[in-house]
Amino acid sequence: MTSRDPRWVFRERPSVGLIIGLVVAGLCALVSFSFDLLDGQPVQFFIALILAIAPVPLLLAAVLGLDRMEPEPRSNLLFAFAWGAGIAVLVAGVINSLGLVYIERAVNLESADARSVAATFGAPLVEETMKGLVLLGLLRFRRQELDGPTDGVIYASMVGLGFAMSENVSYYVAALSGPSGVQTLAVTVVLRGILSPFAHPLFTSMIGVAVAVAAGRRGPGRVLIVLAGWLGAMLLHGLWNGLASYGGFEGLAVAYLVLMAVLFVLIGVVIRDRRRIVALLQRYLPAYQPTGLLTLFDVQMLSSLPARRHARQWARGNGGRAGLRAMTEYQLAATELGLLHERATRGVVGESTFYEEQRALLECMRVARERFPVPAGASSLGGPPGSR
């Protein structure tokens, strides 16, 4: 009878529910794109689609650059992006359209005024709710993946980038279909694709941070934390839309300053969270030296992003892809071990779960070390014993 692969603790394999969710999200994206295709010519749609997709790789790289200390499972990240690009944008689009019709008829406003009202007061409520639902799902079903504010920012940014990409397709198609097609498109691309690509990720990061903080706590206070984050996301979104709709150039400038301030605050939160993780590693990992799975030198390596990168480069240079994978898994398992201790200290995981995951993580570290391209007794960065 074969033993269970200890890498189950990384939860990298997509579940059946996740696969079904991705399929549904893909279908929703196709339906959303079909509406855009009907609104314009096929050539216009594909131009809009290319322009909307073009900045996404760079934006994703920027977001994932924050996720180097304890990378999240790719399947979870993919689902968050797909949720935003498919399910959230389709449902929000339908509800926003119905709300716009209601405002035009019930309040008897002109089309332009009705759109401004809907964008300022209706869209933030609907869109942040649809994007935030996937974060609530993580809190309910993948709570162990939310180890701190950084994780909340990462997942919120992924769903926000997916939402913005699909929404931009609609805006670009509408711009091309207007009387001053190319000129209007150019202005729209500058405003949405160049000057404010992180707007939706920043809005939803309010929910992401709140959900991540709630994941590390127990008791009814978690609900209030999530509600506060949700309210913050809607207010920030509504402020952005309101200033852009009613403030003219000055209002747009103020909106950008607000977004920049929020961005710098979130960067500060991520930096502080990274220091917290380093402190956890330095606090809990030295106790595992008797196992022979790490040394104080390894703890120092794990506490520094440049040292981690150097270790992976050394492993790849001396052991190829197998060596790189071994070092990557070793770093991930060791980091997860430190975070597991924090979750146990806070009472987020039970005793049996702690020991089960602890054994799996130690086994992952053991297997990874055995695949390091170093002689017995050498440090994890390679070289003969005593060379450092």
- Give residue 101's Cα distance to chain centre: 33
Distance CA 219, CA 238 (A): 30
Q: Residue 126 falls within a domain, yes or no? A: yes
Is residue 75 within 8 A of residue 18, CB to CB? The reply is yes
Q: Residue 195 falls within a domain, yes or no? A: yes
Task: Report the amino acid identity of residue 203.
Answer: F
Q: CA angle at residue 91 from 86 to 96, to 5 degrees? A: 130
Residues 58 and 195 in one domain: yes
Residues 237 and 287 in one domain: no
Residues 241 and 284 in one domain: no
Classify residue 388 as exposed, middle or buried by CB count within 10 Å of its CB (0-12, 13-18, 19+).
exposed
Distance CA 291, CA 274 (A): 26
Residues 112 and 210 in one domain: yes
Q: Residue 291 falls within a domain, yes or no? A: yes
Residues 236 and 299 in one domain: no
Split into its structural domains, the chain has a count of 2
Q: Residue 155 falls within a domain, yes or no? A: yes
Q: Residue 7 falls within a domain, yes or no? A: no
Is residue 157 within 8 A of residue 205, CB to CB? The reply is yes
Helix 248-284 / helix 221-246 crossing angle, nearest 10 deg: 150
Q: Residue 380 falls within a domain, yes or no? A: no
Residues 170 and 296 in one domain: no
Distance CA 211, CA 134 (A): 11
Residues 42 and 152 in one domain: yes
Q: Residue 272 falls within a domain, yes or no? A: no
As a dihedral over the C-alpha atoms of residue 186, residue 115, residue 234, residue 95, rounded to 10 degrees, the angle is: -110
Classify residue 69 as exposed, middle or buried by CB count within 10 Å of its CB (0-12, 13-18, 19+).
buried
Q: Which residue has the tokens 């146990």?
A: 344
Is residue 386 within 8 A of residue 378, CB to CB? The reply is no
Q: Residue 303's domain spans which residues?
A: 280-370
Residues 217 and 289 in one domain: no
Residues 113 and 216 in one domain: yes
Residues 286 and 241 in one domain: no
> Considering the entire predicted model, what is its pTM?
0.89
CB neighbour list of residue 286: distance below 8 Å, 6 or more residues apart: 296, 299
Residues 117 and 240 in one domain: yes
Q: Residue 271 falls within a domain, yes or no? A: no
Residues 132 and 204 in one domain: yes
Rg (CA), the chain: 24
What is the pLDDT tens value at each position of the chain, 388 positions in all? 345 667 666 766 667 778 888 899 999 999 998 888 877 788 888 999 999 999 999 999 999 988 888 888 888 999 999 999 999 999 999 999 999 988 888 777 777 788 888 889 999 999 999 999 999 999 988 888 888 999 999 999 999 999 999 999 999 998 888 777 788 889 889 888 888 889 999 999 999 999 999 998 877 788 999 999 999 999 999 999 999 888 778 888 899 999 999 999 999 999 999 999 999 999 999 999 999 999 999 999 999 999 999 999 999 999 899 999 999 999 999 999 999 999 898 888 888 989 999 999 999 999 999 998 864 444 444 443 333 4
Is residue 198 within 8 A of residue 61, CB to CB? The reply is no
